[in-house]
Amino acid sequence: MKPLLKHSAKLLPFSLALALAACGGGGGGSPSANNPTPASSVATISSSEMATSSSATSMASSSAVAGETVNINFTNAAVHDPSVVKVGSEYYVFGSHLAAAKSSDLMNWTKVADGVNNQNPLFGNKVTTELADTFTWSEVTGLWAADVIQLDDGKFYFYYNSCKGDSPRSALGVAVADNIEGPYVNKQIMLKSGMWGQASEDGTVYDAQVHPNAVDPDVFFDKNGKLWMMYGSYSGGIFILELDEATGLAKPGQGYGKHLLGGHHARIEGAYVLYNAQTGYYYMFTSFGGLDAIGAYNMRVARSVNPDGPYLDAAGTDMSTVKGNPNKLFDDVLYAPHGQKLMGNFQFALAAGETGTQHGYVSAGHNSAYYEEESDQYFLIFHTRFPGRGEQHEIRTHELFFNADGWPVAAPYRYVPLSSNPTTLDKTIAGSEVAGSYKYINHGKDISATLKTSSTITLNSDGSVTGAVSGSWSAQGNNLIDLTLGNESFKGVLSRQWNPNSKTFVVTFSAQSTAGISVWGSRNN
């Protein structure tokens, strides 16, 4: 069946599965061991998703440590595929369906815009005329995962993309504004895809197996000031282009650019790059699986010493070799073993004395990431669905840490600053604080909608681990921890995180294995 996808548009809308193959999951949510050492240091939208995309909910919780209580307030907003940019003291996220929100603390979000219509202020209430050529090409009035960056001229560059949805017929372009909140004025279309039977951007006839879908841009500066755009989705995979720093447009002669990951309709999308000056690596985040509540979205990461790759996982696999099956649609088994999995579907059980809704996520993904230089903190920002809540989704922010091997690990709970606690809490965790009973999650390596529920393990003071899994542990100083669980070794990071069910800051660990499996622990009080 797969060879039929190459050139004929009329053969693509064959089923919902083929529709999802075309654009990937990037538009969902409403109407997506041998690494080199650095030199130095396509979707159907439900009515329920439309209803929730513009909603925001608020909730308040309290935290008690040593008898003290503090209110923790969250204001939640729905922006699918959030891409972060900071302007002054405000964090902005831009996503699919021309949605945007802002926050000053990464906990309370205010919606700025939503909906591809002429009431949306981001394009001065005239998006349908500003992007008329784009919508003519994609054959739909819709926008997918956006990205915004400020260039050296002080202006904000809004990288938009529109995908037909039942095929990878897409257009990706850029609009410019003097203000982060717009109004943006279209500059031009940069790339097109899905030109069936016609020459594509590289001069050859478009082939959905190997050519990219022109969606999901991430534009970033490398450590030397060069400007790049990573993009792509299902179809031919993830690609990268070098851009002109002055114009924000692609430098000539690159075609679609360099292939980095995926192809043959592998369910891999939502690429985002973060550079860590301490490790010397560029980290490429992607989401494997499908975006919806049964789609099994899970975030993964690979790294490179160069912005344009090759990107490798901890096993040394060059991610450009990780592809789907040309003869079988969505053959997840082929690519599930690759990349470092940060998190998949999970839910913590309630321990004694805990109350409220059990903490857990479903199909969390299409993330961005941010380094806050002033506080020396890394953050992972993504959308997620929730157990038992269908397609409703919201923005979440978690702290991101780097283990002894230089791989990122995500905190188990959403971000709440330690300063929220009325009594000063030391960021450093002494080895004597680690021993105790923990709720334990093993995220596995599968691409599955199965909810991984917590079990109980004990990190004993003698360095042994007992309970649902046996092994050993040792604190390494600087909040680092080594664990051997079963027959697998994990390098991790200890932190204090606010547990919404105990309403206290608790000791947690987040760790990775060379095989790319993440495990989490949350200490029971």
Q: Tell me which DSSP letter residue 265 carries.
A: T
Element of type H or E holding 52: helix 47-53
Question: CA–CA distance from 71 to each of 64, 65, 162, 239 (Å)?
Answer: 9, 12, 42, 45
Element of type H or E holding 65: strand 56-65
Q: Tell me which DSSP letter residue 520 carries.
A: E
Report strand pairing: 360-372 vs 346-347.
antiparallel
The Cβ of residue 199 has, within 10 Å, a number of other Cβ atoms equal to: 10
The active-site residue, picked from 269, 292, 354, 391, is 269
Place of tokens 């919606």: 111
| Phi, psi of 348, deg, nearest 5 | -85, 135
3-state SS, one letter per residue, for 101-137: EEECCCCECEEEECCCCCCCHHHCCCHHHHCHHHHHH
| Phi, psi of 23, deg, nearest 5 | -110, -5
Q: Which two tokens stand for residue 167?
A: 């095929």
Catalytic annotation present for 292: no
The active-site residue, picked from 49, 81, 201, 313, is 81
Residues whose CB falls within 8 Å of the CB of residue 239, separated by 6 or more in sequence, listed in order: 212, 230, 231, 232, 256, 257, 258, 259, 260
Which segments of 178-257 are extended strands (E)? 185-193, 218-221, 227-233, 237-243
Instruction: Specify whether the CB–CB gap between 436 and 333 falls below 8 A.
Output: no
Q: Which two tokens stand for residue 341?
A: 């999995």
3-class SS of residue 366: strand
Catalytic annotation present for 178: no
Distance CA 477, CA 433 (A): 12
3-class SS of residue 142: coil
C-alpha dihedral over 523, 440, 451, 364, to 10 degrees?
Answer: 60
Distance CA 295, CA 297 (A): 6
Q: Which residues are catalytic?
A: 81, 269
